[in-house]
Structure 1
Amino acid sequence: MFILVNLKAYPCDPIEVAAAARDVAAASGVRIAVSPQAADIARVADTGVETWAQHVGPNGVGSHTGSTLAEPVADAGAAGTLINHSERRLRLADIDGAVRAAERAGLATCVCANNPAQIGAAAALGPDSVAVEPPELIGGDVSVATADPGIVEDAVAAAADVDESVEVYCGAGISSGADVETAGELGASGILLASGVAKADDPRAALEALVEPL
């Protein structure tokens, strides 16, 4: 099971979370990564934790003010990137372009989508993984695995129908070890979460609780 902690733009200490994730991953044997703000990628990567970007754009070098290029993200130490998160939506052509840009830079890719139908379309673009995240559950206290387990099962099936090599992650509302365990039982091979760790009083304890059932 892969655990990807998205720090979004929360007012947390990215180095504290990164160090906790590194240590809990080492102690538990569970793969854990942290996705900080672009400006913090290098500092987070320096802790030794697996580091992901929150976004990369589809374009290469040139006159693209405000763009996040894949190559500098990789040079800063990132191993992968989220694409098309519910809070950073892209057009289909730009999702495809971002996946290709990430591939050129050697970054693993996870394309986020709202529902199983979109998961199938995302899987057709050839990312390494996709994540199903119903927007109404993002940031809430109820996980998608609990609120509507059928969405996770249908997302796993939709991705497999297109490309069985594309892994499926479960996001939105994940906050406990029970949520992680349920996601795995439904066929997900990873989870995305944010506030459950980034806003926790004790990020290390929150991560230890997440991996405890694993």
Structure 2
Amino acid sequence: MFVLVNLKTYPCDSVAVAQAAAEVDETTDARIAVAPQAAHLEAVAETGVETWAQHVDPIEYGSNTGHTLAESVADAGAAGTLINHSEHRLTLDAIDGSVRAAERAGLETVVCANNPAQIGAAAALGPDAVAVEPPELIGSGTPVSQADPDIVSDAVEAAAAVDSDVTVLCGAGISTGDDVVAAGELGSKGVLLASGVAKADDPAAALADLVEPL
């Protein structure tokens, strides 16, 4: 099970969260990764935890002020990147461009989408994985696997119908080990979460709780 922690722009200590994640990762068969802000990528990668970018742009080297270049993300130590998070929506063409840019730089990709129909469209672009995240549940504390489990199972079916090599992650409202188990029972191969760890008083304890049932 893949546990990807998105730190967004929360006022947390990204290095401390990364160190906690690295420690917990050594105690479990689950795969744990952290996605900090771009400015913190290198510092987080230096902790030894698997590090992901929150976004890369569909660009190449050149005149692209203010954009995020996939090669720079990889050079900073990232192993993968989120694309099209609900807080950073892209057009379908731009999603495709970002996936291609990530592939060019050797980055693994997770494309986020709101619902099973969008999951199918995202899977057709050939990312490594897709993540279903109904926006209304993000940060709610109510996991999608509990609020509407059919969204997860339908997303798994939608991705498989397009490309069986694209795995599905479950996001939105994940905060406990039971949430992770429920996501797995619905066919998800991992979870994408943020506030449950990034806002926790003790990130290591929060992560340990997430992976303990696995």
Considering the TM-score relative to the shorter chain, is it more than 0.5? yes
Corresponding position of 1:113 = 113
Q: CA deviation at 1:28?
A: 1.4
Per-residue deviation, residues 100-157 of structure 1 (Å, max 9, x unmatched):
0000000000000000000000000000000000000001110001100000000000
Correspondence for 1:88: 88
State the 4+ residue runs in structure 1 displaced beyond 4 angstroms.
none
Superposed displacement of residue 63, structure 1: 1.6
**Aligned-residue offset at 1:27:** 1.0
Alignment of 1:43-192 (within 5 A): 43-192=43-192
TM-score when normalising by structure 1: 0.99
Deviations 1:147-172 (A, max 9, x none): 00000000000000000000000000
Structure 2: runs of 5+ lacking an equivalent: none
- For 1:27, what is the secondary structure of its paired residue? coil
How many residues of Structure 1 are paired with residues of Structure 2 in the alignment? 214
Tell me which moved more, 57-66 or 3-12. 57-66
Query: What RMSD in Å do the two structures reach over aligned CA positions?
Result: 0.5
Q: Does 1:213 align with 2:210?
A: no
CA distance in 2, matches of 1:49, 1:134: 28
CA distance, structure 2, for counterparts of residue 55 and residue 190 of structure 1: 19
Where does the alignment leave 5 or more consecutive residues of structure 1 unmatched?
A: none
Q: Distance in 1 between matches of 2:13 and 2:29?
A: 24
Deviation at 1:29, TM superposition (A): 2.3
Using the size of structure 2 for normalisation, the TM-score is 0.99
| Structure 1 residue aligned with 2:17 | 17
Tell me the amino acid that sits aligned with residue 45 of structure 2: A
Letter in 2 for 1:90: L
Letter in 2 for 1:66: G
The percentage of counterpart residues that share the same residue type is 72
